Structure 1
Amino acid sequence: MGDDHHEDDRPAFDPANVELPSKEPPLRETAPQSDFTMSQVSTGAVVALVGLALTFGIAFALV
C-alpha cells in the first residue's frame, strides 16, 4: 500500500529543541457564529420545506 505521509518532507522532531511558530494561526470561525444573509436563510427554509413536503407527501401518498 502507498504511504501518503510524506515523511521525507517533514523535518525531524527534536523534543529538546522546540521551536514555536513565527506567527499566530488565524482565528477559527465556525458556522453557527457566522452572519447569514436573508437570501441564505430563505434558501435554507425553501430546501427544508421541500424536503418535509417530499418526506411526508410520499408517506401520506402510500397510506
Structure 2
Amino acid sequence: MADDHDDRPAYDPSEPTPPEREPPYRQTAPQSAFTGTQVTIGCLVSVVGLAVIFGLPLVLA
C-alpha cells in the first residue's frame, strides 16, 4: 500500500497554492457485478417481504 501514496503530489496546508497536477482519482469500493444466484435470492427476499407487508394485513382483515 505504500506505493499508493507515492503517486500523490506533496501538499502543504499552509501553502495556498494548489499542487501543479491533480491528485489521482480516489479508488473506493466499485460496484461489483452480481451473479444470477444473488439476483434470484434478492428477488425472492423482495417477494416474501412484499407478501408479508401486503398479504398478512389482507388475510387478517
- TM-score (norm: length of structure 2): 0.54
Taking the TM superposition and a 5 Å limit, the aligned residue runs for 1:13-52 are 13-15=14-16, 17-19=17-19, 24-26=24-26, 29=30, 31=31, 34-52=32-50
Aligned length in residues: 49
Residue 51 of structure 2: aligned partner: 53
User: What stretches of structure 1 move > 3 A for 4+ residues in a row?
Assistant: 20-23, 26-29
- Aligned-residue RMSD, C-alpha: 2.8
More relative contact order, 1 or 2 (CA 8 Å, 6+ apart): 2
Q: What amino acid sits opposite 1:45 in the alignment? A: C
TM-score of the superposed pair, with normalisation by structure 1 = 0.53
Q: Structure 1: any 5+ residue segments left out of the alignment? A: 1-10
Letter of the 2:43 partner, please give it: A
Partner of 1:12: 13
Q: Distance in 2 between matches of 1:47 and 1:26?
A: 34
Q: 1:13 to 1:59 in 2, by over 3 A?
A: farther
Q: Which runs of 5+ in 2 are unaligned?
A: 1-11
